[in-house]
Amino acid sequence: MSVLDTAKRYQPLLTEWRHTLHAHPELSGKEYHTAEWIEGKLREMSVPSVRMTETGVVATLANGPGKTVALRADIDALPVTEKTGLPFASQNEGVMHACGHDIHTTSLLGAVKVLLEHRGDFSGTVKFLFQPHEEGSGGAKPLIAAGALQGVDATFGFHVAPDLPTGTVGVKYGKFYAASNPFAFTVTGKSAHAARPQEAVDALKAAVDIVTALNALPKEDRVLSVCTLHAGTAENVIAGRAEVKGALRTLGKEKRLESVKLVRDTIQRISDEHHTKVDITIRDSNIGITNHDASVALVQTVAEDLLGNDRVTVIERPLMISEDFGYYLEQTEGCFYHIGVGGGALHAADFCPDEAMLSTAAAMHAGVVLKYLEK
Q: How far, in Å, CA of 212 to CA of 206, rounded?
A: 10
Tens digit of pLDDT at every position of the chain (375 positions): 899 999 999 999 999 999 999 999 999 999 999 999 999 999 999 999 999 999 999 999 999 999 999 999 999 999 999 999 999 999 999 999 999 999 999 999 999 999 999 999 999 999 999 999 999 888 999 999 999 999 999 999 999 999 999 999 999 999 999 999 999 999 999 999 999 999 999 999 999 999 999 999 999 999 999 999 999 999 999 999 999 999 999 999 999 999 999 999 999 999 999 999 999 999 999 999 999 999 999 999 999 999 999 999 999 999 999 999 999 999 999 999 999 998 789 999 999 999 999 999 999 999 999 999 997
Residue-wise pLDDT tens digits, 361-372 = 999 999 999 999
Residue-wise pLDDT tens digits, 295-312 = 999 999 999 999 999 999
Domain over 3-176+288-372 is classified CATH 3.40.630.10 = yes
Which residue ranges make up each domain of the chain?
A: 3-176+288-372, 179-282
Task: Give the torsion through C-alpha atoms of 373, 150, 72, 54, to 10 deg.
Answer: 150
What's the one-letter identity of residue 276?
T
Q: Which fold has domain 179-282?
A: Alpha-Beta Plaits (3.30.70)
Q: By C-alpha distance, which of 128, 119, 115, 112 is closest to 71? A: 128
236 CB-contact burial (10 Å; exposed 0-12 / middle 13-18 / buried 19+):
exposed
Query: CA distances (Å), 157 to each of 1, 21, 177, 365, 369, in order?
Result: 24, 19, 13, 8, 11
Q: Is the pTM value of this prediction over 0.85?
A: yes
Q: By C-alpha distance, which of 157, 135, 133, 156 is closest to 145? A: 133
pLDDT for 364 equals: 98
% helix, strand, coil for the chain, step of 5: 35, 25, 35
